[in-house]
Amino acid sequence: MGAGQTTTARTGRGRAVPWAVLGLWIAVLALVGPFAAKLADVQHDRVTDYLPASADSTQVAEIQEKLPGGETTEMVLVYHRDGGLSAADRETAAGQVAEIAGQHELIGGAPKGIPSKDGTTLMYPVASNEPGTDEKLRDALVNDVREVAQGEGGLSVEVGGTGALATDAAEVYNSLGGPLLYTTVAVVAILLILIYRSPVLWLVPLVVAGIADFMSMGVAYGLNQAFGTTVSGQSSGVMTILVFGAGTDYALLLVSRYREELRRIERPYDAMVAALRGCGPAVLASSGTVAVGLLCLLAADLNSSRGMGPLGTVGVLCALIAMLTLLPAILVLVGRRVFWPLVPAFGSEPKQRRSLFSAMGSSAGRRPLTVLAGGAVLLGALALGSLNLPGPVKQEDSFVDKPEAVAAMETLGRSYPERGSQPIDVVTPQGRADETLAAVRGTPGVGSAEKGRTGDGWTEISVFAKSAPQSAGETATIKSLRDELKGSYVGGASAQQIDLEDTNARDTKVVVPLVLVSVMLILIGLLRSLVAPLLLVVAVVAVWGASLGIGGLVFGPLLGFEGTDPGLGLLSFVFLVALGVDYGIFLMHRMREESLAGAEPAAAALTALRTTGGVIASAGLVLAATFAVLTNMGLVQLVQLGFVIAVGVLLDTFLVRTYLVTSASVALGRKVWWPGVLSREPEPTEPAGPPRQAAPVGAP
């Protein structure tokens, strides 16, 4: 084949392949589109979606759903006046309750008010089977009741109870859909405009990330239908964050390499092929590490953690596929003009300027041991802040802004100190109900206990402790009940919190080693070394500890949080280790390339930092910003998770990877690649030409 025929063939392929990829994506979107729209229908934020799979409290919640009235929406109307309720207040309360009973079918009709001993509060327990198990109908019922129950002239009216609390929580979880997506898109768009300094280029990866997010929704729905994967507001929100965060990172790396190749290669198609060959393996390895790390959450017993693993993996893989196929196709089709006004002309040379990362690398290279020791001391000091983390967050403290249902609970606790404001639920075999009731009443710390619903072979017993909800006294009472009542289950809101703490402790012991081993094996296979993978893993673990420490200095003193989510340690560990190693792979992979090309260890480390620093710093900023979006959500656990991960990514990007990993690599020299071939001194050879100069990566 002649040169003309070869050029014609390449031209044809350069046009046909991108259009074929684009057509394939259109077909895929048409296929997954109907399923993506259904994801919201299978997203639930029920108690059982977040509880441990095998815990007592989970068994209680599942049995209660099967009992007669298990679909009941329970509320309590709380009328309160600080100076004491007047006759007019009581008349207002009775009239409003009667109006509610006239509008809705209440179990037992209009309830009677229960006054507090100090005369300041009147409570009305209200229950209805109208909504059944439909969460939207439940929310509508609660909102209707709140619309009627209004106070004036100093009379406060609050609607609480389990039904109202579920509605308030659902409102927060629903905000994780549209608002989280819009905020994430806006943050990524602003950062891409600043990074690319182009009125057009930023839009391409953003649109591709949006398409990847749409695809991930369809795949997540398929997983739910095929395997029953739990889909909650928390897991679907994190999936969106990962699609935009990780996807934009991959786009930054690819576009940077593509810009570099456009200066060396005339045709965009050929330049893109070279770019994919250059950065593709590292992108595949890094995304695989994140995916494997997240899949380790399948070993967790906590439903919310176990469900987050597959959905997070789906998000990362959909982002990877889109950025390695759809993004290249679009960039090739639009050609060089997408970079306007900074178009990389064929044969041009990028402006040579001393970068920030060159300066950082030089300082790390001059005194590697000093830099390494100083960084280790700093991270260790920051990690000590984790000792200041507040204890486990209570249910009423899990909202950033206190909802009405929690305010009602607090009012009940103050006005009715002689009784617990929320029950401990005991379910026992129906034939042993009387025996169990007697044992419950004889348990230390129990104030009162009454039998409730019976059905499906089980009887429910409502127990009120003498101590306040989620206090040390109530916790001791719950543990005593579980010790005494063999064959029965003890649940309820407080028992659920105990099970969450215990299960998170168990999951941490199982998942953390699994993540470390999995990540180490991948790194060993990629880097052909034992020391380099160990260095990266130690570095990201140090980042995790320092990030939690910073959280300890911020959550209570500055943000006023009264507690820490029990799952914060495990989830932040999984994300920071997986994502931190992700960036370490790009650095060490480039360092290995330089070493294979003959560069000395110190020179290879500094060149790798200089050539990858800018683009990875941009990627780190984008990823940190996307997780920081979670700090604007209304749940303490999401704010804490987003904060710790965002801080950890920034620490890894600008301190650990830049200074500590580079300094350690310079100090170790060839030992960093032990026991691989690069760890051995090369045999002397005849002098050759000048040493290879690394091509600098252009600004992203």
Give the CATH number of domain 72-168: 3.30.70
The first and second tokens of residue 579, run together, are 């994502």
Q: Which has the higher per-residue pLDDT, 36 or 586?
A: 36
Q: How far apart, in whole angstroms, are the C-alpha atoms of residue 643 and residue 633?
A: 11
Q: What are the φ and ψ backbone dihedral angles of 392, each rounded to 5 degrees?
A: -55, 135
Q: Secondary structure of 58-82 in the HEC alphabet? A: HHHHHHHHHCCCCCCEEEEEEEECC
pLDDT, position 562: 86
Domain 402-498 is found in CATH 3.30.70:
yes
Question: Has residue 4 got a pLDDT over 60?
Answer: no
The first and second tokens of residue 138, run together, are 């439940």
Please list, in sequence order, all residues whose beta carbon lies within 8 angstroms of the beta carbon of residue 575, skipping any fewer than 6 positions away: 293, 641, 645
SS3 640: helix
Q: How far apart, in whole angstroms, are the C-alpha atoms of residue 1 and residue 11?
A: 15
Closest to 178 (Cα-Cα) out of 237, 221, 136, 225? 237
The number of beta carbons lying within 10 Å of the beta carbon of residue 381 is 11
**Helix-, strand-, coil-residue percentages of the chain, each rounded to 5:** 70, 10, 25
Q: How far is CA 76 from CA 46, 142, 407, 587, in A?
A: 20, 10, 12, 58
pLDDT, one tens digit per residue, over 69-99 is 667 788 999 999 998 999 999 999 999 999 9
Q: How far is CA 655 from CA 110, 312, 334, 649, in A?
A: 64, 26, 37, 10
Please list, in sequence order, all residues whose beta carbon lies within 8 angstroms of the beta carbon of residue 13, skipping any fewer than 6 positions away: 269
CATH second-level architecture of 1-36+175-349? Up-down Bundle (1.20)
pLDDT, one tens digit per residue, over 148-191 is 999 888 899 999 888 888 888 888 777 666 777 888 888 888 88
> Assign residue 124 a region: left if phi > 0, alpha if psi is -120 to 50, beta otherwise?
beta
Segment (H or E) for 435: helix 433-441
pLDDT, one tens digit per residue, over 307-357 is 889 999 999 999 999 999 999 999 999 988 888 888 888 777 766 655 666
pLDDT, position 260: 86
Give the CATH number of domain 353-401+501-682+692-700: 1.20.1640.10
Q: How far apart, in whole angstroms, are the C-alpha atoms of residue 167 and residue 162?
A: 9
Q: Determine the average pLDDT of the residues in 620-624.
A: 89
> Average pLDDT of the chain?
85
Please list, in sequence order, all residues whose beta carbon lies within 8 angstroms of the beta carbon of residue 542, skipping any fewer than 6 positions away: 376, 379, 380, 383, 656, 660
Please list, in sequence order, all residues whose beta carbon lies within 8 angstroms of the beta carbon of residue 132, skipping any fewer than 6 positions away: 71
pLDDT, position 698: 39
- Classify strands 458-465 and 424-429 as parallel, antiparallel or unpaired: antiparallel
Q: Where in the chain is the domain with CATH 3.30.70?
A: 72-168, 402-498
Contact 408, 78 (CB under 8 A): yes
- Identify the sign of the CA torsion 688, 689, 690, 696: negative
The first and second tokens of residue 643, run together, are 């904060």
pLDDT, one tens digit per residue, over 626-679 is 899 888 888 888 899 999 999 999 998 888 877 888 888 888 888 888 887 777
pLDDT, one tens digit per residue, over 476-528 is 999 999 998 888 999 888 888 889 888 988 999 999 999 999 989 988 888 88
pLDDT, one tens digit per residue, over 269-301 is 999 999 998 888 878 888 888 899 999 999 998
Contact 232, 50 (CB under 8 A): yes
Q: Where in the chain is the domain with CATH 1.20.1640.10?
A: 1-36+175-349, 353-401+501-682+692-700
Contact 39, 236 (CB under 8 A): yes
Q: Would you give the DSSP letter of residue 127? A: E
Q: Which has the higher per-residue pLDDT, 466 or 49?
A: 466
